[in-house]
Amino acid sequence: MHVTAIIAAGGRGLRLGASRPKQLLEVGGRPILERTVTAFLSHPSIDTVVVALPADLMETPPEYLRSTLKPVRIVAGGERRQDSVANAFRSANALSEVIVIHDAARPFASADLIARTIAVAAETGAALAAVPARDTVKRVGATAPSRTVGSQSAVSGSSRTVIDTLPRDEIYLAQTPQAFRRDVLAAALALATDATDEAALAEQAGHQVQIVDGEATNIKITTADDLPMAEAIARSIDGARSARTGRAGTGYDLHRLVEGRPLVLGGVTIPSDRGALGHSDADVVCHAITDAILGAACLGDIGRHFPDTDPRWKDVSSLDLLQRAAALVAAQGLQVGNVDVTVILERPKIRDHIGAMRARVAAALGVGIERISIKGKTNEGMDAIGRGEAIAAHAVVLIRAI
């Protein structure tokens, strides 16, 4: 099943009162939009991502939207939220069977919540995350202005009066993600009426929308009052992840250098008169990291999972193999914490390409670029590597519980 995620980030967030769009502000040291997009790029059920940005940001989108392994399309946002979603929907992969829509300003949706919403939508057609109301809910209306009676002061203008008390067990507060089968969302977006979310449009189009239990931490950052809570949630989530016991793995890869082959490192093609010889693209950086990840999870090595006797892996991008290894450990409830790689190569020098390599590896693993370290060394002219006949890489990876 092909699943596309739409990230609604086309608004300006004026209620927050910041000088730039709220989705670009940092919470817990990371931009809100990066946290949100990473949650979907790293999710094993998501195949492609479409991000609706303000039109003036499309020319220079953030780096974390440009250097990704999974396809990311950027579209212009519209005047209304549903216009932004409609623009993104038109750019979604034609193979998409389920479309997941998520607010950029909700950076803490868990992988479990995303998976549950997709599963219910695939089965029923439409699903939304929501949490039950905890407080008693009152429906109010305006009354006529009061006049001064005796010594009591009147209330100027109209006042708000309780009309009805609603049964609390029937009230749910909608969140995102919201997910829909493609035909259901198409019918919803075809309506010309205004709505605050796509679930409301789906209801108006005659479709039943199923509730998926949401999460209290899946807050929407709307006003400045929400930022302290968001910072607290970010510290709690990030701190809990850091505090968990990790498992370390090491990886090593070596390839001959030959003429007529591209030199690919960390998913980046390096200008060189020779490249590494191998069954795949012979990317020693990705191969070493893949081995380290599998080793940390006690899942064997790269040859066991992606043997060079299998034609499926002929000339395949090693970033794909790396992503598959990350998915294997994710299935065990583990994720990559950080990566440190040393590339041993006499020439060419790789220093000018390290930033791009780090970005691509980070995207493949679904982690922030700050968790990826890549550095280059030489063998000072000694042995086959020193003579320029080979290239090698060593990697150390820490994985931890999700």
Using DSSP's 3-state secondary structure scheme, residue 396 falls into strand
- pLDDT of 242 over the 70 cut: no
- pLDDT of 118 over the 50 cut: yes
Using DSSP's 3-state secondary structure scheme, residue 140 falls into strand
User: For residues 47 and 236, which has the higher predicted lDDT (pLDDT)?
Assistant: 47
Same domain, 195 and 263: no
Domain extent, residue 340, equals: 246-401
Domain boundary among 187, 210, 242: 242
Mean pLDDT of 120-132: 96
The model's pTM: 0.62
Domain boundary among 202, 226, 242: 242
pLDDT at 158: 61
Range with lowest mean pLDDT among 12-21, 292-301, 337-346: 12-21
Is position 208 within any domain? Answer: yes
pLDDT at 18: 62
Same domain, 306 and 226: no
Same domain, 8 and 89: yes
pLDDT at 144: 61
- pLDDT of 267 over the 50 cut: yes
**Rounded to a whole number, what is the distance in angstroms from the first to the last CA of the chain?**
24
Contact 349, 376 (CB under 8 A): yes
Mean pLDDT of 23-47: 89
Same domain, 123 and 220: yes
Same domain, 47 and 126: yes
pLDDT at 153: 47
pLDDT, mean over the chain: 89
CATH of the domain at 181: 3.90.550.10
- pLDDT of 355 over the 50 cut: yes
Task: Indicate the pLDDT class of residue 12, thresholds 50, 70 and 90.
Answer: low
Range with lowest mean pLDDT among 27-31, 155-159, 170-174, 268-272: 155-159
Same domain, 178 and 310: no
pLDDT digits (tens, 9 = 90+) for 128-187: 999 999 999 999 987 665 555 555 545 455 678 999 999 988 999 999 999 999 999 999
Same domain, 217 and 271: no
pLDDT at 357: 96
For strands 390-401 and 334-344, give the pairing: antiparallel
Same domain, 35 and 90: yes
Same domain, 201 and 183: yes
Is position 308 within any domain? Answer: yes
Same domain, 80 and 204: yes
- pLDDT of 322 over the 50 cut: yes
Same domain, 219 and 175: yes
User: For residues 41 and 237, which has the higher predicted lDDT (pLDDT)?
Assistant: 41
Same domain, 102 and 212: yes
Contact 106, 129 (CB under 8 A): no
Contact 36, 106 (CB under 8 A): yes
Is position 140 within any domain? Answer: no
Domain boundary among 223, 242, 261: 242
Share of the chain above pLDDT 90, in %: 64
User: How many separate domains does the chain show?
Assistant: 2
